Amino acid sequence: MTDATNPAANGGIDRRDALKLFGGSALAVALAGCTELLGNGDGDDSSPSETGDGDVPDEPIQAGLQTFREGAPAVLGVQAEYGAETAVRRINENGGVAGREIELDIVEEGSEQLENYQQFVDQGKDVTFGPISSGGHEAMVPEIDDQGVINVATDGTVTTLYEENFPDTTYSFRFQNHDVMEALSAAKEAVEVLGADNIDTYAGVNPNYAFGEDEMALFSAGIEKLTGAEEVYNGTPDLAADDMSTHVTNINSEEPDVVFTSCWGGDATLLLQQAQANDMLDNTELVVGTVLYGSANDYEEGDLEGPIHGGSRNFYWDQPTTDQWTPAADLFDEVQDEYGVIPTAHFMSGYGAVTAWATAADKAVRLLGRWPDQDELAMVLEEHGFFTPAGYHVMSTDHQGYSSAHFGEMAWSDEIGGAILENVNVYAAENVSPPPGTTSLDWIDSW
Amino acid sequence: MTRVSRNGVLAVLAIVLLLAVPDIANVTPLSFSIIHQGILFGMAAMGLNLLLRHTELVSFGHTAFFGAGAYGVAVLTAHYEVSNGLLLLLGAALAATAIALLVGYLVAGYLDIYFALLTLAFNQVLFAFVLQSGFFNYNDGLRVRVGADRPSLLGIDRWLVSTFGADPIVAYDYVLYYLTVVVLLVMVAVTWKIVNSPFGRALDAIGQDRTRARFIGIPVDRYVWIAFTLSGLYGGIAGGLFALLQLHVRPEPVLFVFVSGEILFMAIIGGIGTIVGPIVGGIVLIYLLRLARFYFEYYHALTGLVLLVVVFFLPEGILGSLPTFRAGLERRLRDPTLVRGDAATVSTTIRQRLYRAATTVRILVFGVK
């Protein structure tokens, strides 16, 4: 690029000539803004792979997290924020990633997940985390592959995302268990509690968007294969619905054996409150919900009366039991002290996403003897196994996180002042998710 | 300098500035992508302003057309594998025009709050329909790619890659930006032509008094319908370009009714009395909406504060207030003692507004008496 501020650099052109060229030339106008396009931008042609030269840089790792911090989805998003903050705090207190501390910027994801990721990249972030939204996640994946800055999604758990829509992504990963794992765990929990022979009918109440559709389709496929049950009602309330009574009434009239729901946040609370008020729990044998436990901090004691079984995806602080696995109990105490909340699976979304990337980066530095570039880190993240207080996790070749899922009977704890799970069943990843290369519905169909 | 020549210079300067945006963004912290998005939303606001400025009808549902254009592009790529950018924009224009024709026909006879609420209702219906439809992939939305490939922008982007070895993503972004600039300039020229035509004068007459306009022979409803459709077409083209920029279309960012409010704010912030004010408003508001969250925790409040400042101190909008601002500045440069009077005016204004607020609260609490 011609340096207009330095006459020596541009062949001694003086101000008058420069003005004549700029002011009088249509070409100057036509080419305005094109310098980067013509390859003469800032002269920085270095690719990420050229930045590592045998050393680990001293400067902190710049990381960005987008999550819901306001509105109804904050019940999930703030937990993810606490989780990511806790992981960063712990990593930094223990010397950082190969000696580099992490600096984490957190931003409200709103409905601008794609723009937030682009802005993080513009700011020079080394890695980004989030979002919660499955729709936002779907919009981001091709952009992530274009930009080449690794993103580890905290949620955005729609099963088709990596199975069908983006089977060959390079830089996009997702930490949290995806829908098939929790929907099938819910189906297996129903069979575990009631017995396959006792389940003839089932109903669903699921949020009216891609996540809810995905969860219901997978649960239906699973429960029908396991029990031969028939669907008698499928309700789809809008997100942030202000009334669930239609669904409660329909369920009361059908009296299904099992009610499945993937409602979350305020929708989960409202559904249970109206179910209690209208005796729905007397008209069904079991309510099983994949994300019900996500609202653990928001329930009142009366909301949880009856056979309600909730799932906690890949994290429940009391599993494995604390006499076998103290890190979970330590984490629970730390979170209670720091934030005064019960950590839920969405806490682990944030915690695990940061930990997945950080442990992979640490491993890559040990393997390479230098800081890895984005390609190398992405390669290490594939099939990367690592521990969190929730146990062992694997980031599979399909870029989805796998670990055990927990389901148990929801109960009220005076000691904790919130919801807990009792009689917890643990479902291993290989029992509730297909082998790599097989789509979930095909796999269930082959049972 | 005469007004005509001054305006000519300003127009050339604005065009050079527009063309140089990518380089300006390169050497400053400004974001190329955000400015591009701001221009696109500004184009939709310019369309809205066609109604607002002349017929004095306030639409709360204009993102319906922006979203229709965006989804027009997305449906063609996702379901029919169309990758020709020109065809995609044509699809966007047709989708938005069809919906604008229908909605415009149904609302053209209404006024004031009824018109506003009807447009809002149609917007909400469209949003709910798309959100709940598997064809539009619910809230996950649709990709604007055929496989992993971006659409082709008249072949120019690919020619730049094959001939000059340009980076494919940079080539796409730049060609799309310059395509946007061309479309914008055409829109400005067409708008200028419309507002200065007998049709534009007729719209002014309709805005001032519908009954009188009808008495002098103006087919009011038909003219409002045409203006509404044109306005929707602007939004549709802007939405189509937005889809090509984002390469993914979801309901919330392009169809949610709050976005209609934002488009209205853009026109107000930029200046509804001007043709290109909404573009300025678009860039300003998109900056606030997209980037303020990275720097301020209470970024919603910041947006609100900017709106308050505009309404209280720049009632003609940013661009619309420039002549008054410039004249005032020139007067103060000649006579600095006027600044003292300004301070007194500001103080009086604040006092009056506080008094009015207190009066309003008193009336709310104790009633009119």
Question: For residue B323, how far is the Cα from the chain centroid?
Answer: 22
Helix (H) or strand (E) holding A27: helix A26-31
pLDDT value for A24: 37
Count A/B contacts: CB-CB distance under 8 Å.
111
| pLDDT per residue as tens, chain A (447 positions) | 333 333 333 333 344 443 333 333 444 444 455 455 554 434 344 443 344 445 888 899 999 999 999 888 888 899 999 999 999 999 999 999 999 999 999 999 988 899 999 999 989 999 999 899 888 898 899 999 999 999 999 988 888 888 888 888 999 999 998 899 999 999 999 999 999 999 999 999 999 888 898 899 999 999 999 999 999 999 999 888 889 999 999 999 999 999 999 998 889 999 999 999 999 999 999 999 998 998 899 898 999 999 999 988 888 988 888 777 888 889 999 999 999 999 999 999 999 999 999 999 999 999 999 999 999 999 999 999 999 998 889 999 999 999 999 999 999 999 888 999 999 999 999 999 998 888 999 999 998
Residues whose CB is less than 8 angstroms from the CB of residue B125 and which lie 6 or more positions away in sequence, other chains included: none
Which ranges in B81-209 belong to alpha helices (H)?
85-107, 112-131, 156-164, 168-195, 198-208
pLDDT value for A234: 94
pLDDT value for B165: 80
CA atoms within 13 A of residue B128's CA, in its CB half-sphere: 9
CB contact under 8 A, A210 and B138: yes
A11: its two tokens: 């062949």
Contact B36, B266 (CB under 8 A): no
Per DSSP, the residues of A77-141 read: HHHHHHHHHHHHHHHHHTT-BTTBPEEEEEEE-TT-HHHHHHHHHHTT-SEEE----HHHHHHHH
| B128: closest chain A residue by CA | A238
pLDDT value for B1: 56
Contact A112, A68 (CB under 8 A): no
pTM value is 0.83
Helix (H) or strand (E) holding A407: strand A405-413
A154: its two tokens: 């905290």
Given a cut of 50, the residues of chain B with pLDDT beneath it are none
Of B20, B246, B250, the CB nearest to A33: B20
Which phi and psi (to 5°) does residue A401 adopt? Answer: -80, 140
B254: its two tokens: 């392009």
Q: What b/e readout covers A229-260, taking b as 16+ CB neighbours within 10 angstroms? A: bebbbebbbebebeebeebbebbbebebbbbb
Total length of chain A: 447
Give the whole-angstrom CA distance, residue A90 versus residue A217: 39
Kindly compute the dihedral angle of the four CA atoms of residues A45, A48, A51, A52, in this order, to the nearest 10 degrees.
Answer: -160
Q: Which of B304, B239, B237, B299 lies closest to B265, judged by CA?
A: B304
CB contact under 8 A, A111 and B252: yes
pLDDT value for A40: 42
B15: which chain A residues are within 8 Å (Cβ-Cβ)? 29
CB contact under 8 A, A135 and B250: yes
Convert the pLDDT of each residue in B281-340 to its tens digit.
999 999 888 888 888 878 888 888 888 888 777 778 888 887 787 788 888 888 888 888
Residues whose CB is less than 8 angstroms from the CB of residue A432 and which lie 6 or more positions away in sequence, other chains included: A180, A181, A182, A184, A185, A188, A405
Per DSSP, the residues of B189-223 read: HHHHHHHTSHHHHHHHHHHH-HHHHHHTT--HHHH
CA angle B170, B174, B178 (to 5 degrees): 175
Residues whose CB is less than 8 angstroms from the CB of residue B92 and which lie 6 or more positions away in sequence, other chains included: B68, B69, B70, B72, B73, B236, B237, B239, B240, B241, B243
3-state helix, strand, coil in chain B (%, to 5): 80, 0, 20
Rg over CA atoms, chain B? 22
Give the whole-angstrom CA distance, residue A235 versus residue A381: 39
Helix H, strand E, coil C: the string for B1-32 is CCHHHHHHHHHHHHHHHHHCHHHHHHHCCCCH
A138: which chain B residues are within 8 Å (Cβ-Cβ)? 140-141, 248
| A237: closest chain B residue by CA | B132
Q: Which of A252, A177, A173 lies closest to A215, judged by CA?
A: A177
Contact A411, A422 (CB under 8 A): yes
A202 strand-pairing partners: A231, A258
- Which residues from A are below 8 Å from B when comparing CB atoms? 29-30, 32-39, 41-42, 105, 107-108, 110-112, 114-116, 118-119, 122-123, 133-136, 138-139, 142-143, 145-146, 158, 165, 208-210, 213, 236
A34: which chain B residues are within 8 Å (Cβ-Cβ)? 22-23, 174
Strand A405-413 and strand A308-311: the pairing is antiparallel
Give the whole-angstrom CA distance, residue A1 versus residue A39: 9
ipTM over 0.90: no
How far does A235 lie from chain B, in Å, by closest CA?
Answer: 13
Residue with tokens 């905290």: A154
The alpha carbon dihedral of A69, A73, A79, A81 has a sign of negative
Convert the pLDDT of each residue in B176-193 to its tens digit.
999 999 999 999 999 999
Cβ neighbours of A2 (radius 10 Å): 12
CB contact under 8 A, B290 and A119: yes
Is the peptide bond prior to B168 cis by the omega test (within 30 degrees of 0)?
Answer: no
Of A33, A41, A210, the CB nearest to B139: A210
A109: its two tokens: 């994801």
How far does A46 lie from chain B, in Å, by closest CA?
Answer: 13
pLDDT value for A218: 94
